[in-house]
Chain A
Amino acid sequence: MRRIAELFAEPTKKLVPFITAGFPSLDSTVELVLAAEQAGADMVEIGMPFSDPLADGPVIQEASQIALDNGITVKTIIRQVEAVRKKSSVPLVLMGYINPIMRYGLDQFLSDVESAGVDGLILPDLPPEEGFDIYKKVKSHSLSPILLVAPNTFEPRIRWIGTMAEDLMYAVSILGVTGSTISANTKLKEYLGQIRENTDTPFVVGFGISSKEDVAAVAPLADGVVVGSALLKKIKSADDPVATTREFIEELKEGLLDKKGIKVSGRKIPESRSSTGSE
């Protein structure tokens, strides 16, 4: 079974940090991803920088630019993932705009990332109408395509996306770019409830989740939460990015515990997974 499907078949809520590859320095990626995993990340998203990231706010834009200035390339990212995979057992997801992937060569990219041990792909500027054939190919390489759903996505479309995604979807929390502020209000609840009603495909929520409190508020409404800009901001000003990453993930992870310190469960099955998170 694909690693992502396996992880999300479990009833626990997942914490998914996002780390830009090649940031803050070219070779930070491996140690930061491993630190995140040790601190309890259930899955890690690795951002592939692009010069024109139009779904991203200022924090990820800046991190991407720094990484590009550091000389990050798709080729280097694939080598970094390979190194992570040797020591890691959590699902690894690459998130990136489509142009650098097409330039690398789609088929080459898919077979290279598959053999490097990548489990899923998030392609924010490849909606299903353009990506239909590409997402089929993604699946044929045993990778999970993680398609996006937004607060203004109509219900029949949610169902279509759910079917195409199969293993996991990414619910964008707000109308906006990454790093905006989220408010866990009734509107968000309704929107996430609507996704649940329309598809059995599990989903994580991201864009604007920045604290333990946000995690605690949003996690009950989804299968997991993604934290990106907030983590990158801390890394950028950190003396020791590895320690900072570990501490912040541990803190966010507390948002997934109930008052008795038991991990919050999403589905009915009582949860029993140990809090170290990896298996």
Chain B
Amino acid sequence: MTTYSQPDDAGHYGEFGGKYVPETLIPALEELESVYYHLKDDSEFQGELDELHREYTGRPSPLTYAPRLSDDLKLNIFLKREDLNHTGAHKINNTLGQILLARKMGKTRIIAETGAGQHGVATATVAAKFGLQCIVYMGEEDIRRQQLNVFRMELLGAEVRPVNSGSKTLKDATNEAIRDWVANVEDTYYLIGSVVGPHPYPMIVRDFQKIIGEETKEQFAAMSGGLPDALVACVGGGSNAIGIFYPFIDDDVQMYAVEASGLGLDTEKHAATMSLGSQGIFHGASSYLLHNDNGQVQLPHSISAGLDYPGIGPEHSYLKTSGRVKYLDATDNEAVQAFRWLSEKEGIIPALESAHALAVLQQRKTSMEKWDNVVVNLSGRGDKDVNTIADYLGKDLS
């Protein structure tokens, strides 16, 4: 077996990836790349990050055996507990790493995009910790849907800037963050929230998230010996999935990534980039994309704001094409069922995003043998989603 080595020097993952950006951003991406390559193997930098993981985030996050889920499905189900991280999701792994990069680069102003507000909160958190100015772009539509996270970011001292262009959601917030970066490229660090965007971002975010898979490997070996048979993770942009997959990529382990199919693959309301999209160029990279016959980007739909994105990271497109990872989908309804299943059977309320990963097991969409060992990446906790679920179930909380 040859060892996996992506991306190439130009930031391409096979025919995907690259830097499709306005000229103004080229020097900034080159600077980021050279600083990153310099620090990647720097023991002082890694030491500082390790300490933050341990003492600030609470890593390592546990690997939890889920006996009652396992019983239901006749599988051994383990949960990688990113929900127990500070701020409640895997997002903090990435924001801590990138804020250290920003500081090394002498940038004083941090900008970010956010959909549901999870990445915005994780960014505002680390900016507060390091005393850096933080501006978070968020679509007006998302601001309306996610008041609690908006207020959280404000408590953390960040400025939330409403975006009213286009569909007023995550993709437009990302456009606006990139425009801000173009105009303020000299003092501003763009802290991107997933394995998307132009090179080197997908690589950097992957490297900061791969700690999920590294810990899983060690913890699984200690608990059961050997390797798990399969890994399952949800994909929006794809960072938690790449994070758990990457350290296993050369191993004999099946990998399933689960995207959101909203109201169903046969409707227009879905975020199933892999199932229903095709290659396109969006937010600085070539990758699978939901776009119409005229090349205009389509509006996705998912009950889970974190999966509600028309694109996906370029490395995922590569892994789909090479066949290394299988891309499945779960609908809103299936995700809500899985959400309740985990809550009732194991006493863990998952993020709606993570519930999509559980749903493909519950719906038996994977090809697994009886009592196979499978690790599900529980990318976040569900406190943020309680109102959405109540709405969905027709329950009035007010």
Contact = CB atoms under 8 A, between A and B. Distances in A.
Interface of A: 50-58, 61-62, 65, 68, 73-74, 97-104, 124-127, 129-130, 147-154, 157, 172, 174-177, 180
Contacts of B283: 52, 54
B27 interface: yes
A74 B295 contact: yes
B182 A73 contact: no
Interface stretch (B15-23, B56-64, B149-157): B15-23
B171 interface: yes
Contact of A98 (B171, B281, B291, B294): B281
B175 to A, nearest CB: 5
A125 B284 CA distance: 8
Contacts of A129: 10, 18-19, 26
B224 interface: no
Interface in B169-185: 171-172, 175, 178-179, 182-185
A124 B25 CA distance: 11
A122 B172 CA distance: 23
Shortest beta-carbon contacts, A-B, top 7: A103-B295, A100-B295, A176-B183, A150-B24, A148-B23, A51-B296, A150-B23
A56 B166 CA distance: 13
Contacts of B294: 73-74, 100, 103-104
Nearest to B28: A152
B199 to A, nearest CB: 10
B165 interface: yes
Contacts of A125: 20-22, 281, 284
B280 interface: yes
B140 to A, nearest CB: 14
20 contacts: A51-B297, A52-B171, A52-B172, A54-B175, A61-B165, A62-B165, A65-B165, A65-B166, A68-B296, A99-B291, A99-B295, A127-B20, A127-B23, A129-B10, A147-B23, A150-B24, A154-B27, A174-B183, A175-B24, A176-B183
B27 A153 contact: yes
Interface in B184-219: 184-186
B20 A101 contact: no
A174 B22 CA distance: 12
A179 B65 CA distance: 56
Contacts of B182: 54-55, 175-177
Contact of B184 (A74, A124, A153, A175): A175
A253 B317 CA distance: 49
Given A57-B179, A103-B280, A50 B296 contact: yes
Given A61-B165, A130-B20, A153-B27, A99 B282 contact: yes
Most buried by A among B24, B179, B289, B293: B24
B183 A177 contact: yes
Contact of A100 (B166, B179, B184, B296): B296
A151 to B, nearest CB: 8
Given A51-B296, A175-B24, A127 B19 contact: yes
A68 B172 CA distance: 16
A130 B11 CA distance: 10
A52 B281 CA distance: 11
A74 B23 CA distance: 24
A73 to B, nearest CB: 5
